[in-house]
Amino acid sequence: MLPDYEPPRPATGRRKLIYQAGILAGVVLVFVTWSLIMAGVIPPTPTDVYVTCIVLVALFTPWAAFLDNPGEQRTKVQRYAEFAFNWLLLSGIAQTFWELPWFFLDLSGLIHGVTADDHWAWPWWTYGGADTRYIRSNPTIAGVEFCAGFAGPFELLACYWFMKGKRIAANWLALGLGIGLTWGTGIFFYAEVHVGFVNVAQGAFGFWAKWFGLNLPWALAPLFFIPASIWELRELYEAEGAKKALASLRS
């Protein structure tokens, strides 16, 4: 019997609903809320607290990949591969549309010293009000976000390759980016631990929900997407090698 790996199919059932809810909460809600704040309809705070709690939950929706629908049977590799794609998409959106713009705002100095009254900067102030490194000139964070921000479009490119069936190329790109971002996450956390959390504000909520909670998924995800890429590459190469061997025997 030739190895015949079947990549995960598009999510259905409750997993699809969870993913859709995550996009609705993590992207649409933030954009609509920001628009309402810019228009003066709602206040920037405590709106930031409510949105932080919702986004915090949305960041964990890729883990729904391990939840089978009733009657569904998937292999371990299929579950992990689905997680890897969903995490790549979530991370790519965050890096491209939040962190990359932040890098240029920091480079230009526009983000330095913003407050809740600077409504145009609300998405960045919402986090930077707690992790004040993001509204000051912090060289460590500038370096981390330079790498993370520019990785975002490449993460989205890998997602495009996945959807087009170029899974080997997509996995290699995702694996390389993911390992690099893992190092960046370690630097992000340890740099603040090293100075005794002097840059973290807004009390317990700012520490646990914003500084720790919103970044925790990037610390946990490598434990899943790195094995996922390795295991799927093994399956893909084995299937490709078997097909070439069979074609050679028939010729």
Query: What gap in Å lies between CA 97 and CA 102, rounded to an integer?
Result: 9
Q: Which amino acid is at 13?
A: G
Residue 106 lies in a domain: yes
Residue 170 lies in a domain: yes
Q: At what angle do helices 167-194 and 76-94 cross, to 10 degrees?
A: 60
Instruction: Kindly report, residue by residue over 176-202, the tens digit of the pLDDT.
Output: 999 999 999 999 999 999 999 999 999
Residues linked to residue 200 through DSSP beta bridges, in sequence order: 131
Query: What gap in Å lies between CA 15 and CA 25, rounded to an integer?
Result: 15
Residue 19 lies in a domain: no
Our count of domains for the chain comes to 1
Residue 47 lies in a domain: no
Segment 155-177 mean pLDDT: 97
pLDDT at 95 over 50: yes
pLDDT at 1: 44
pLDDT at 227: 97
Report the predicted TM-score, pTM, of the whole model to 2 decimal places: 0.95
Tell me the torsion sign for CA atoms 140, 144, 150, 153: negative
pLDDT at 155 over 60: yes
CB 19 within 8 A of CB 64: yes
pLDDT at 68: 96
Residue 150 lies in a domain: yes
CB 5 within 8 A of CB 41: no
Confidence bin at 3 (pLDDT 50/70/90): low
In which domain, by residue range, is 141 found? 72-232
Tell me the torsion sign for CA atoms 109, 114, 118, 122: positive
Instruction: Kindly report, residue by residue over 40-82, the tens digit of the pLDDT.
Output: 999 999 999 999 999 999 999 999 999 999 999 999 999 999 9
Instruction: Kindly report, residue by residue over 117-127, the tens digit of the pLDDT.
Output: 999 999 999 99
Q: Which residue has the tokens 């391990």?
A: 66
**Residue 146 CA: distances (Å) to CA of 82, 100, 101, 240:** 28, 7, 10, 37
Confidence bin at 250 (pLDDT 50/70/90): confident
pLDDT at 39 over 50: yes
Residue 123 preceded by cis peptide, ω within 30: no
